[in-house]
Amino acid sequence: MSNLKSTESTGTTQPTITKTTKTTNTTQTINKEPVADKNDKNENPDVFLPDQFAKERKGERGRRAYRQYVEMENTNRQAFKGIESLLSSLGQAVGLGNIWRFPQMAYQNGGSSFLIPYLVCAFVFAIPAIHMEFVLGQYAAKSPPAVFRRIMPVLEGIGWMCCLVGAMIGIYYMILISWIGIYLANTANAVKLSKCDNEWNNQGRSTCYEGMKQKLCKGANMVFNNDSRALNEDKHPEWMYFDGKCQNATGRNMASGTEQFFTNFVINPSTGFTDFNTINWATLGAVAICWLLTSIILIRGMKMIGKLSYFTVILPYVIIVILMIRGITLDGASAGLYFLWAKSDFSSLWTLKAWVGAMTQICFSLSIGQGGLMNIASYNKKSYNWYRDAYLLVLCDTMMSLLGGTAVFATLGFLAKQRQIEVPAVIKEGHALAFIVYTEAISQMPMPYLWHALFFLMLFLLGMSTEIVIVEIVCSCLTDRFGYLRRHRWLTVLMVSLTFFSLGLVMTSDAGYYWFDLYDEYSAGVSATLGTAFMCITVSFCYGLENFRKDMTELWGEPQSRLAKWFGPASYVWVGMWIVITPLCSIGVMVVFVVNRRYPYEGDGVKYPPIFDVIGWFVTAIPFLAIPCFAIYTILKFRNDKIPLRGAFMIQKQHPAFDRVTKNWPEWKKVIGDQLPDQEPGDDDVEFVDGDEEDQEESLIE
């Protein structure tokens, strides 16, 4: 229940809204002004006394009062302070992929020359998309579903699609964080992980060799076998150090100590995707602890997230600088840096692979099209400089990728020097680069416990900062849509966390590693890129870019110079990007992904049977189903409420620019506009009652 009271200050009355429940004995008002006497006359037609509103609730004045209520709700949405918005955006964007995915992509696509397509894609795709997400969220002060619903109700599903993409990522991303947590908890065993005398070694899958002692067998290898193939191949036809001495490893399936720790202890995989036998209790416990920590933080709201970002975002930059400095001072670091940066192949610029790789890395790294940046911007103050943040976000994300790549490859050069082999021989793809190769390199450094703790603490903070923002997207979408959940945030957070935890349980089984690969391969890529395309098309052709430009001028004012007119936030340069380049790039990435998909996954039909790809494409399709489902629901809702169906394809009254956009509408369209819902979903339970009921209590809403 809500109580609309009038207040008096310097001869004028101001509307005050209070929330009431029957469980407390206190009342708190949003506007703490002296309450006007109930016999006062209302001299201001735009201010609503309680008894007047109760009588005219469904009239024009009632609608204006409700819009004042909505404006107050938006004003009281928890706002970021200082640079908390930028840090929260970095918390979502800068993640684990910056550390192991970017350097790997650069190495495979021409080394330093990969920066050319990467930076081009950043300016023609990433910045325009981020720019649009920030404006949509900041102007509407709502989560993605509400933003698109206000533009056109039948398109609300686009916002839910973004929400579901984030949900898919959040489910499997927590598994990755739990693995990092296991390594962080084993800091005291940093050296022990690379040895072969542990309980998890030699469990039948492979024979363990100690990388730290591998150079002792290099002479034997050169004398008895001239084969110079890499020591980290599945089968090693050379002499290696295992069982306490150098022996011929021909025909054996060899694995380093760190590889066996990850394989036999952390993931303990079964024989294939459908082979379920046991639960990995270490992973399950780590996942439960991480979800508990996430829930505690999210219950405190966005203010807590903003303040926490000072620690979770800034500290990883400090750590990666320390790791980079340590890496480049190691013996052999120059060899690793040569393979990453100095050995450039500019012919790769003429290949589709390099450009698609740059585009996918941009999407993956900056979390574009997932609704997270839009949701973060909804907590900004109206005057906040989002345009600066769009550039800083790309700059800081790229900086983390460069620092991370330098630190990783310098360390790989050191490891190659210790083993007396070439750098390419120690490089592994994906998360194995961190969990296996980098862990082994750390074990051979001076002060290994320190570097182990710093490296995995950095990864843990990067992962948690991303996960927290992802889960917050889902919570915000639900609380904006359902008024009951808005008043009980703790219940929303608990419900979302338990749901995600339950859906992720399959990845804590011995078949979980294959399910992790499924989510990693199918959940984000296509959906996120198409989400960006839908966003640009909706704003460009359904809402109108001219209206969108006016929204930006309301937030930031008219451009004051010729340079600002051409390159400022509301310039026509961005218009061209949003209409043509950004959506075409998004659709192009999706097409290339589908066309280049190879079956079976990883070329292994035993571990990844056909059902793997069938379920994978179903996971990809789930977010898209939100679009037709919500469109059908909206049409049925309008028909049930006896509102003209054309209204479902019009801007709604709750949109901040409704009066401006509808000012020049033709008369027939204005007639339909007058019949549009006065309230939006989530506010249906809001009731305005007579302000004379002084005994009513208030429900405090965060």
Annotated binding site for Na(+): 91, 93-94, 98, 365, 462
d(CA 381, CA 377): 9
Buried b (16+ CB within 10 A) or exposed e, 237-264: ebbbbbeeebbbbeebebbbbbbbbbbb
- Among residues 512, 471, 517, the alpha carbon closest in space to that of 495 is found at 471
- Among residues 264, 257, 261, the alpha carbon closest in space to that of 185 is found at 261
The sheet that has 12-19: what strands, in order across it?
12-19, 2-9, 688-689
- Among residues 186, 263, 175, the alpha carbon closest in space to that of 456 is found at 186
Q: Which two tokens stand for residue 197?
A: 């005398």
| Furthest C-alpha separation in the chain | 105
CA distances from 121 to 116, 371, 602 (A): 9, 20, 28
Radius of gyration of the chain (CA): 29
Question: SS3 of 467, please?
Answer: helix
CA distances from 475 to 144, 205, 258, 496 (A): 12, 43, 38, 7
The reply to whether omega before 600 is within 30° of 0 (cis) is yes
d(CA 68, CA 683): 13
d(CA 672, CA 246): 84
Question: SS3 of 597, please?
Answer: coil
Positive/negative CA dihedral, 350, 352, 353, 354: positive
d(CA 535, CA 136): 10
Question: SS3 of 486, please?
Answer: helix
If phi over 0 gives left and psi between -120 and 50 gives alpha, with beta otherwise, what is residue 504? alpha
> Parallel, antiparallel, or unpaired: how do β-strands 688-689 and 2-9 relate?
parallel
At residue 194's C-alpha, the angle toward residues 203 and 431, to 5°, is 85
Sole residue written with tokens 């600088």: 321
Counting every residue written for the chain, the total comes to: 702
CB 209, CB 255: distance < 8 Å: yes
In sequence order, which ranges of 216-351 are alpha helices (DSSP H)?
A: 218-224, 257-260, 281-299, 302-312, 314-328, 333-337
DSSP per position, 603-668: G-TTTS-HHHHHHHHHHHHHHHHHHHHHHHHHHHHHHHTT--GGGGGS--TTSTTHHHHHTT--HH
List binding-site positions. Answer: 91, 93-94, 98, 365, 462
